[in-house]
A and B are shown apart, each in its own frame.
Chain A
Amino acid sequence: MDKDCSMYIEHVESGKRKVTLSLTVNDRLVVRDVDPQMTLLHFLRDELKLFGTKEACGEGECGACTVIMNGKAVTSCIILAIEAEGAQITTVEGLAKDGKLSILQEEFVSQDALQCGFCTPGFLMSTRALLDSNADPSDEEIIETLSGNLCRCTGYIPILNAVKRTIERERKELGR
């Protein structure tokens, strides 16, 4: 384990016990031997070096570590990696394609929906999961969904605007 990569809650290895895990992350099949006590978050960050997903509370409260697992937004800090056996995972690294930002990311930038940016990956993934299952959510539905993600900088209004503009543009440009 690369010590430099881990956050303040350090992953504790439980001796020699390892389990072979195979899952798809951002459209890539990955196979690793993992400690069964390792969280999905640490698996993504420490094993796969996908540092986009952030840890801010380690107890499933803040939503900064949100990723999409089999189409659902999940807080990866309170899910064990082995629970994701055979799953399809998308992290923030999986949003941009061929070096081009997705509409969602572009709108977060254009609407100034981030300041420090630490919570942004979580917001992006929660929004993505919502829009994948419901291309035209109401304001209430958006607010309800994004209430699981905390942001201490923006006051949430720019984020809401960015999501609404994304819905608009995805409908026009992608025909959703």
Chain B
Amino acid sequence: MLEFNVNGSPYSLEEIPGEKLSDLLRERLRLTGTKIGCGEGRCGICIVLVDGIPTRSCITRAHKIHGKTILTIEGLRALRPEHQQHQREDLKALHPLQEAFITHGAIQCGFCTPGQLIRAHALLEANPNPSFDEIREAMDGVLCRCGSYEGIISAIQAAAKALREHGDVKPRVVPLGEQDLEYVGKPIPRPDAIGKTVGITAFTDDLRFEQMLYARVLRAGVPSAILRGLDTSQAQSLPGVRAVLIAQDLQHETLHGVYDKDWPILIGLGGRVRYQGDAIALVAADSQAIADQAIKLIKTDYEPRPVVDSPRVACEPGAEPVHEGGNLLKHIHFNKGNVDVGFAEADEIVEHTFNTPFMEHLFMEPECSIAVPRNDGGMDVYVGSQIPFEDQRQVTEALGLPREMVRVKGQKTGGAFGGKEDIAGQIHAALLAQATGKPVKLLFTRRESMLVHPKRHATSIRVRLGAKKDGTLTACQTELYGDTGAYASLGVAVLTRATTHSCGPYIIPHAHSDCFAMYTNNPPAGAFRGFGVVQAAFGIENAMDMLAEKLNIDPLAMRIKNSLTIGSATNTGHYLADSVGLPECLQALQNWFDGNGITAPFLPVREQIDGYEQITCWGVACGFKNTGLGTGATDSSGIILRLLPAGRLQIKSGAAEVGQGMVTTLQLIAAEVLGILPENINVFIMDTGLSLDGGPTTASRQTYVTGNAVRKAALILKERIFAALSPHKPQNITLTSKGALIAGELTPWQEIYDLLAASDEGTELETIYTAPETFPLEKGGRIHIAYGFAAQAVKVAINPQTGEIRVLKVIAANDAGRVINPLGFQAQVEGGVIMGIGHGLMEDFKVENGIIKSDRIARYEIPRMRDIPEIVSLIVESHTAGGPFGAKGVGELVCVPTPPAITNAICHAIGLRVDTLPVTKEKVREFLAGN
């Protein structure tokens, strides 16, 4: 018998040999607040306290806790000091750490939050007044891919102060944009943050259903082969196995794909295996252990085929065709003027090839789908996804059901960053549920997650850039090879963005770009925050610095000179009528340098840091990023809006919130139109059965598109309210949080509700907003609805002995139009910069000859808390007329300039031009040794 205490309650349970502590807590005690991110002790989010010591529950055997006391996230709030003061009434049942995490914006997707809080609690127990560096060191073991580290540190400091002084938790001070509106522009915390801090918020894996089965998928494991033999008989006869499905069991659609449908749901006999992650067979069993065992009993026989391991190989004559139509997915190109003329006019020309590797999203929550058959023959699918309505379409096609019979109930999503756009387990779980008639859960292991879902495209980008002596750009020519891997996924769209952004946010009279999107036997590449533009910026921004150096022009001045402005046109011929804040962003950097007495930022300085003499220097880079789907795609979002009794409002949207902060954005927009307090506005999202299609959460589009839909719906409701208040004139009515104010007299919201409820039109409305039309790149002109602009200055420190590089400081100036929620904006800025640092200095998803080497967190480094710099966010607001209150999108923009700003800083510091990401200390050390 195991005897122990959890959160103050004694337990006495039967010992199960080999059981993990995390399984005991989650499965047997149903304390699902503790989350599992990797299952191998690397990510730290499963931390609980065992007799006060932070312990990774996923690699601790349950028998070790005999006689011990455990604290999980569910027990934290009971530990709040008795006389703790609170600023908000609704937070008074919380521990100050929980309150601080909420009000400091330390939570985005919230999947790592339990681990962060428990670790922070242990820290404060040991050290009530930790310094910035002590917090950084103590918290280093808990990963946060949203990059909320700065918010977390700020929250811990505020909570520590409140605990020491028995005072209340002071909220975080973040930079604000314009303050001319009543609600929009005021920082508010996420409404879902409370549940996420106390451990009651359920993610998909936390759900249980009666008679639920567990699934596992047999993956090919080889990158290029023909499947010649498949024997599932042993697996089928294993007790506890309820279904084994192979390709010939598919009765309806056999392919999936979010853009181009080229991805087999299962590879059949005689079929081609195109990457290691291809699915061969599906198993559903009574337990996960049985399903895992059954997969190992399936016998396969492959006829190996040559491996196409890079786009260059894919282009070669006679290359093994990955798909029947050949290896070219698409040749994407544009031309402006005549580059030969432009280069003839140039006084200096640089030409260089830049390389970026595959990158992995590493969202903290591994993919999980649960399919539940309904008694009417339909299917409910529970999944954390970026595109619930697209999932619904694809599952529908695979099951052969009419669309309305499949309902996708989108769940809280533990980060996505583009990696949850493609179908992962939704179809497989649904097929198994259909075959067995029982609920089926398919939870990816971390390794499976890294093996299967599409990556950021690896690219090779040749840039040729010419300018006159005074720095005026005359011509730019780019040639891109993009590795879209085994399947198209969103490859065409991603590499179109890479192409259109490849000449940078600059006015160049002659520009030409060719991009070859190639199939290979590498993992598929698709959407990832920045969507091709991260790669494009790495090429052009390094080339800009190389050219500035040749011309002996200040790199910041060079960019200011050539920057796009209002009234100019992009290199793809898109006339920019408004909202081009790039000159202001660049000027903001210059002003920051001036204001801080930095006169020669691009000259190396020797400084003592951490006891070593290090070389420090600044580098700059720009970026721009489209808002919205663009290039001809219809970009719509539907909203159902209901006025509720007593001055409450409900917004229903099919759009996905994956941690980015859409909910508060929608609350603030509706509040601004209707005067109702944001906290009285409920936002219901991500259910295909109860909401209208909000379109994908991609392309930094939800603020603009769904934000506009909410604004429109709120205006229509306002129209109805004013009509109901007739004969009072609209100009004499003011909507406030209490009701309608007419000549000093208040008509309360309840009365307005009663008036509308009695009217013909009622209290509920549906509306669809469609963004302005865009045109395909081939047609040119307006290819996007708006662009965000960014400029960053990055200070690096290089240790000349070890070659280690650290980013000390980042000044991030961003023009994303109107800032709707400054707290959410700050989180996106900090998270974007931190992801950019990861891309610049660490992240390298290694694939060798089609074999994935980065198959676990231990083999794919992402930023930890110790890696964070000081981040200064400078808000530039250049409003766009079409956006809600002038807003564009910020989600992807911020990570675009960071990697080239880092490499530019390194070049200024030591003279090494790094043209291949990531920058490693070995490269730097080797270079310094050679000098």
Asked if B809 is an interface residue, CB under 8 A from chain A, the answer is no
Asked if A111 is an interface residue, CB under 8 A from chain B, the answer is no
* A22 and B715 contact, CB distance less than 8 A: yes
* A15 and B723 contact, CB distance less than 8 A: no
Known: A16-B773, A20-B708. A28 touches B715 (CB 8 A): no
* A29 and B718 contact, CB distance less than 8 A: yes
Asked if A135 is an interface residue, CB under 8 A from chain B, the answer is no
Number of chain B interface residues as a range: 20 to 34
Cβ contacts A1-27/B at 8 Å (1 or 0 each) = 000000000000011111110101001
* B711 and A20 contact, CB distance less than 8 A: yes
Tell which of B634, B719, B729, B882 touches A16, judged by Cβ atoms closer than 8 Å: B634
Interface class of chain A by DSSP: strand
Asked if B726 is an interface residue, CB under 8 A from chain A, the answer is yes
Asked if B645 is an interface residue, CB under 8 A from chain A, the answer is no
* B769 and A20 contact, CB distance less than 8 A: yes
Count, A-B residue pairs, CB within 8 A = 48
Asked if B731 is an interface residue, CB under 8 A from chain A, the answer is yes
Asked if B770 is an interface residue, CB under 8 A from chain A, the answer is yes
Tell which of A17, A20, A28 touches B723, judged by Cβ atoms closer than 8 Å: A28
Which residues of chain A from 9 to 53 have any CB-CB distance to chain B below 8 Å in the complex?
A: 14-20, 22, 24, 27-31, 33, 36
Closest A residue to B673 by beta carbon equals A22
Which residues of chain B from 848 to 876 have any CB-CB distance to chain A below 8 Å in the complex?
A: none
The CA-CA distance from A30 to B730 in the complex, in Å, is 10
* A29 and B722 contact, CB distance less than 8 A: yes
Closest B residue to A27 by beta carbon equals B729
**In the complex, what residues of B have CB within 8 A of residue A18's CB?**
770, 772
Closest A residue to B717 by beta carbon equals A31
Tell which of A15, A17, A31, A88 touches B715, judged by Cβ atoms closer than 8 Å: A31
**In the complex, what residues of B have CB within 8 A of residue A15's CB?**
773
Tell which of B718, B729, B773 touches A31, judged by Cβ atoms closer than 8 Å: B718
* A29 and B723 contact, CB distance less than 8 A: yes
* A31 and B772 contact, CB distance less than 8 A: no
Interface class of chain B by DSSP: helix
* A20 and B772 contact, CB distance less than 8 A: no
Cβ contacts B878-910/A at 8 Å (1 or 0 each) = 000010000000000000000000000000000
* A20 and B773 contact, CB distance less than 8 A: no
**In the complex, what residues of B have CB within 8 A of residue A88's CB?**
731
The CA-CA distance from A15 to B635 in the complex, in Å, is 13
Cβ contacts A68-106/B at 8 Å (1 or 0 each) = 000000000000000000001000000000000000000
Asked if B716 is an interface residue, CB under 8 A from chain A, the answer is yes
Number of chain A interface residues as a range: 10 to 19
Closest B residue to A98 by beta carbon equals B727
Tell which of B730, B772, B882 touches A27, judged by Cβ atoms closer than 8 Å: B730
The CA-CA distance from A130 to B738 in the complex, in Å, is 39
Residue of A22, A24, A31, A33 contacting most chain B CB atoms (<10 Å): A31
**In the complex, what residues of B have CB within 8 A of residue A19's CB?**
772, 882
Closest A residue to B723 by beta carbon equals A28
**In the complex, what residues of B have CB within 8 A of residue A31's CB?**
712, 715-716, 718-719
The CA-CA distance from A31 to B722 in the complex, in Å, is 11
* B722 and A20 contact, CB distance less than 8 A: no
Which residues of chain B from 721 to 751 have any CB-CB distance to chain A below 8 Å in the complex?
A: 722-723, 726-727, 729-731
* B712 and A33 contact, CB distance less than 8 A: yes
* B718 and A22 contact, CB distance less than 8 A: yes
Name the distance in Å between A28's Cβ and chain B's nearest Cβ. 7
Tell which of B719, B731, B770 touches A30, judged by Cβ atoms closer than 8 Å: B719
Residue of A14, A17, A18, A20 contacting most chain B CB atoms (<10 Å): A20
**In the complex, what residues of A have CB within 8 A of residue B711's CB?**
20
* A16 and B715 contact, CB distance less than 8 A: no
Tell which of B712, B716, B730, B773 touches A28, judged by Cβ atoms closer than 8 Å: B730
**In the complex, what residues of B have CB within 8 A of residue A33's CB?**
712, 769-770
The CA-CA distance from A5 to B770 in the complex, in Å, is 25
Closest A residue to B882 by beta carbon equals A19
The CA-CA distance from A130 to B895 in the complex, in Å, is 57
Name the distance in Å between B768's Cβ and chain A's nearest Cβ. 9
Closest A residue to B635 by beta carbon equals A16
Name the distance in Å between A53's Cβ and chain B's nearest Cβ. 20
Cβ contacts B495-512/A at 8 Å (1 or 0 each) = 000000000000000000
* A24 and B769 contact, CB distance less than 8 A: no
Closest B residue to A16 by beta carbon equals B773
Closest A residue to B768 by beta carbon equals A33
Name the distance in Å between B643's Cβ and chain A's nearest Cβ. 15
Which residues of chain B from 11 to 55 have any CB-CB distance to chain A below 8 Å in the complex?
A: none
Tell which of A16, A24, A36 touches B730, judged by Cβ atoms closer than 8 Å: A24
The CA-CA distance from A130 to B508 in the complex, in Å, is 52
The CA-CA distance from A16 to B770 in the complex, in Å, is 8
**In the complex, what residues of B have CB within 8 A of residue A30's CB?**
719
**In the complex, what residues of A have CB within 8 A of residue B727's CB?**
27
Closest A residue to B767 by beta carbon equals A33
Closest B residue to A20 by beta carbon equals B712
Q: What are 10 residue pairs bridging A and B, where the CB atoms are less than 8 Å apart in the complex?
A: A16-B770, A16-B772, A19-B882, A22-B715, A24-B731, A27-B727, A29-B722, A29-B730, A30-B719, A31-B712
Q: Please give 9 more A-B residue pairs, beta carbons under 8 A apart, in addition to A18-B772, A31-B719.
A: A14-B773, A15-B773, A16-B634, A16-B772, A22-B718, A27-B726, A27-B729, A29-B730, A33-B712
User: Residues of A with Cβ closer than 8 Å to B?
Assistant: 14-20, 22, 24, 27-31, 33, 36, 88
List the 4 closest pairs (A to B, CB-CB), nearest first. Answer: A29-B722, A31-B715, A20-B712, A17-B772
User: Residues of B with Cβ closer than 8 Å to A?
Assistant: 634, 708, 711-712, 715-716, 718-719, 722-723, 726-727, 729-731, 769-770, 772-773, 882
